Structure 1
Amino acid sequence: MADQALIVGGTTGMGRATAELLLKGGIEVIIMGRPGKKLEAAREELSAHGKAHAVGVDLSSLPDVQQFTSSLKTEFPDLKYLLNAAGYFSPKPFLEHTEEDYDRYHAFNKAFFFITQEVARVMIGNGGGSIVNIGSMWAKQAIKATPSSAYSMAKAGLHSLTQHLAMELADHNIRVNAVSPAVVVTPIYAAFIEEDKIEEALQGFNSFHPIGRVGRAQDVANVIYFLLTDKSSWVTGSIWDVDGGVMAGRN
């Protein structure tokens, strides 16, 4: 049986780009996303590169998450890789945040926590594995133009979880790392920018990055793939800045 990878948030963006790389590498991929036509369309397109499955789960619903995890070992017994890639981003001033805003961000971490817990149990039975979380530059650096207090809290929590799990799961031959991107052209900005205008809108951030351009999903996926695979077998507990140089300094 081929090794399997679960991509939580694999229909678009960095998750989708990573799924394609894994499939091309001969790994069977399960993409998770909101139930619907978009999820199935992504699975069909990814199937051109290898064996791809799709699982519809509402990550904001703990019962949905629990239903998925309860059957995980039976449905996908050969899991060796996990990418927690789902996300939501809509800048709003701290004084305007509502409880609903806060919960929307932190629901992802709750889902990641319990999905990762069950995946780790499956990995232990398979002799080990590799986990990557998609964090964010905003968890390390506040940007006044994009106020993101609740989002940043959630991503900082994911960075911390990465390091704690790296320590706890090392004895089980499971590595845990994270990437911390800056501005990347993905559909995550559709929460506050019309999707067909995202590309144009983000060009204004090119000079924000010392390298001179915003990122692409493939830029981050290449690093995620490296961290997931044995090419990085001596790396665990790391938070990799994949950010065009932003954390080194800004223009």
Structure 2
Amino acid sequence: MTATFAGKKLLVVGGTSGMGFESARIVLEQGGEVVLVGNQPSKAETALQALAPLGKVTVIVADLMTTKGMQHVRQVINLEHQDISLLVNAAGVFFPKPFIEHEEDDYDKYMSINKSLFFITRDVVKNMLAAHIKGAIVNIGSMWAQQAIGATPSSAYSMAKAGLHALTKNMAIELGASGIRVNAVSPAVVQTPIYEGFIPKDEVNGVMDSFNSFHPIGRVGTPRDIAETVTFLLSDKASWVTGDVWNIDGGVMAGRNAG
């Protein structure tokens, strides 16, 4: 097994399931150390048990929709993990709803996560700069930030993810000269637990299957599909890539897939 990430410490915000979890797994498999942030103690413990045999793993449990949760993560990072050199921002929620039916609470859920990601990332970057650490950051954006889908009306979600895409480009410009690369990935439909927030668990597989033909490649994505690209962007193999948003979408953004 290659030791691509030997001597590196990765923080995965939203790392106890889905794309973040798989990104953590790959980094551990390739010699790195991982710090996960998740909001549910049971999921955090399950993730820890699954990943611990692969390498050194630490878990921070916090609700990123609250200021208290955000501050807790920042405090732990600044006290115990000032040597983080890699960061994946994978936390998110997804509740499709027509624009006119959105309430303030819906909007706040998305924007509070963005706020947490913003300030956790700021603290990580400040530590990297202070220690002259050259590193890489990957934000998990979304195809919905670039293209509206009638079957899944997602105005607030799309607005939040578009903000994450914009943050990616701004950070890349500011931090490039310091040796810190910042990119984002923009997935289409990926089968992760995020859909269980609004689809009954026993119906998720059927709903996911209905989206296969939406993708020119003929299937929805897997967390590993996304994680392979995320970890490539984290690695030195992508040392001349920064400020970009990579579509990992089975061809959706290439054009309309009719017939």
TM-score normalised over the length of structure 1: 0.97
- For 1:129 and 1:248, the matched residues in 2 are separated by 31
Q: CA deviation at 1:121?
A: 1.3
Aligned match for 1:86, one of 91, 108, 112: 91
- For 2:73 and 2:47, the matched residues in 1 are separated by 19
1:171-210 residue pairs with structure 2 within 5 A? 171-210=177-216
Tell me which residue corresponds to 2:3: none
Aligned match for 2:11, one of 6, 15, 18: 6
Aligned match for 1:150, one of 156, 159, 180: 156
- For 1:6 and 1:197, the matched residues in 2 are separated by 32
Aligned match for 2:38, one of 29, 33, 58: 33
Gaps of 5+ in 1: none
* 1:139-168 deviations in Å (ceiling 9; x for gaps): 000111110000000000000000000001
- How many residue pairs get aligned? The number is 251
Q: CA deviation at 1:68?
A: 2.4
Matching residue's letter, 1:17: E
Q: CA deviation at 1:126?
A: 4.2
Gaps of 5+ in 2: 1-5
C-alpha contact (below 8 Å) 2:17/2:43 kept by paired residues: no
TM-score normalised over the length of structure 2: 0.94
Tell me which residue corresponds to 2:105: 100
Tell me which residue corresponds to 1:216: 222
Task: Give the 4+ runs in structure 1 shifted more than 2 A.
Answer: none
Q: CA deviation at 1:191?
A: 1.2
**Pairing 1:44–2:49 present:** yes
In 2 relative to 1, CA 126–49 (structure 1 residues): closer, same or farther, beyond 3 Å?
A: farther
Tell me which residue corresponds to 1:117: 122
Q: CA deviation at 1:214?
A: 0.7
In 2 relative to 1, CA 25–126 (structure 1 residues): closer, same or farther, beyond 3 Å?
A: farther
Q: CA deviation at 1:128?
A: 1.6
C-alpha contact (below 8 Å) 1:166/1:174 kept by paired residues: yes
- For 2:109 and 2:143, the matched residues in 1 are separated by 19
Tell me which residue corresponds to 1:137: 143
Tell me which residue corresponds to 2:71: 66
C-alpha contact (below 8 Å) 2:62/2:72 kept by paired residues: no
Tell me which residue corresponds to 1:243: 249
Q: CA deviation at 1:69?
A: 1.2
Q: CA deviation at 1:199?
A: 2.0
- For 1:69 and 1:172, the matched residues in 2 are separated by 22
Tell me which residue corresponds to 1:230: 236
- For 1:187 and 1:243, the matched residues in 2 are separated by 18
